[in-house]
Amino acid sequence: MKQEIKNMIEQYNKIIIHRHENPDPDAIGSQAGLKALIQENYPDKQVFAVGEEEESLTFLAKMDEIDEEMYEGSLVIVCDTANLERVDDKRYERGEALIKIDHHPEVEEYGDVSWVDINSSSVSEMVYELYNAWKQDGMSLSSEVARLLFAGIVGDTGRFRHPNTTEKTFRIAAELTNYTFSRPDLFNEMEKSSLSLKRLEGYVLSNAEILDSGAGYIKLTSSLLTSYDVTSREAGGIINTLSTLEGLKAWVFFVEEEEIIRVRLRSKGPAVNKIASRYNGGGHELAAGAKVSSWNEADQLLAELEEACHKG
């Protein structure tokens, strides 16, 4: 599979890399890491990373702006995205060939070549494995690529705490620490928080409800977010504020946006991705996302979460 991906990369002179909407450090780290890995080893190729710019992650990488014509005769690689609907920048369809590289449980099969490894902590870990397979052919990996992949692994493993962290994850992370990027600087960037977001965390801690089933929840209306001067995306980023609460089995953040209510689910045991898939979403067993269109529907979802907690 890794050889097949390399063969395809070698066949194309234009390579455009996409990832999922609302990117996280793994989406950007794997996307920009793969871009730089290819670019540094094939300097004659044109390689791009596209998608909406995420302000809080520009310390990792900035996105490229390209014209539609660039897709003609190109290879498109999609990182970290289980289904095509979630791909950021729908122009991915205009490429000549498509590769999927992902670690989410398969939601939709796509791509001329598809490499899905649900046992990998992150796609950043998978990109390192690509390099590992390719290095016998003389490929090299720079400190910048190492920084991007390390960030992706740290992001998706919650700093090596989530159960997706394996011996292989640590081994790859250890390899990456041989490179000369500054880990303290990277951690500082990844963990920095504005005062308004810290204050919203205070609100969440004061107002979250923990039910007898072990399900926890908080409802954040758009007017509340406005009063705290925090975006919906930023609010989603503090979901782990509740993670250490005693007695909590699974929890959900309902974050109201203009037209929908975004749902972020986390769990310490009961699978939450099946619930998410019934509400326009999906994800991992212990971390998933969904969308509902009303507070009534949010309560329905919460009832399903409680049921899962009773069983789990």
Q: Does 102 bind Mn ion (CB under 5 A)?
A: no
Residue whose C-beta lies closest to Mn ion:
26
Among 19, 28, 33, 80, binds Mn ion (CB under 5 A): 80
Among 54, 156, 201, 306, binds Mn ion (CB under 5 A): 156
Query: Which residue's CB is nearer to Mn ion, number 156 or number 234?
Result: 156
Of 107-146, binders to Mn ion (CB under 5 A) are: 122
Give the binding-site size for Mn ion (rule: CB under 5 A): 4
Window of 23-31, 84-92, 136-144, 159-167 that interacts with Mn ion by CB under 5 A? 23-31
CB of 106 to Mn ion, least distance (A): 14
CB of 268 to Mn ion, least distance (A): 19
Contacts of 200 (CB under 8 A, 6+ apart): 220, 225, 228, 230, 234, 235, 238
Site pattern 211..230 for Mn ion (x: CB under 5 A) = --------------------
Site pattern 163..182 for Mn ion (x: CB under 5 A) = --------------------
Query: Which residue's CB is nearer to Mn ion, number 26 or number 88?
Result: 26
Q: Does 306 bind Mn ion (CB under 5 A)?
A: no
Q: Does 88 bind Mn ion (CB under 5 A)?
A: no
Residue 152 and residue 138 in contact, taking contact as beta carbons nearer than 8 Å: no
Q: Does 26 bind Mn ion (CB under 5 A)?
A: yes
Query: Which residue's CB is nearer to Mn ion, number 71 or number 128?
Result: 128
- Binding residues (CB under 5 A) for Mn ion: these are 26, 80, 122, 156
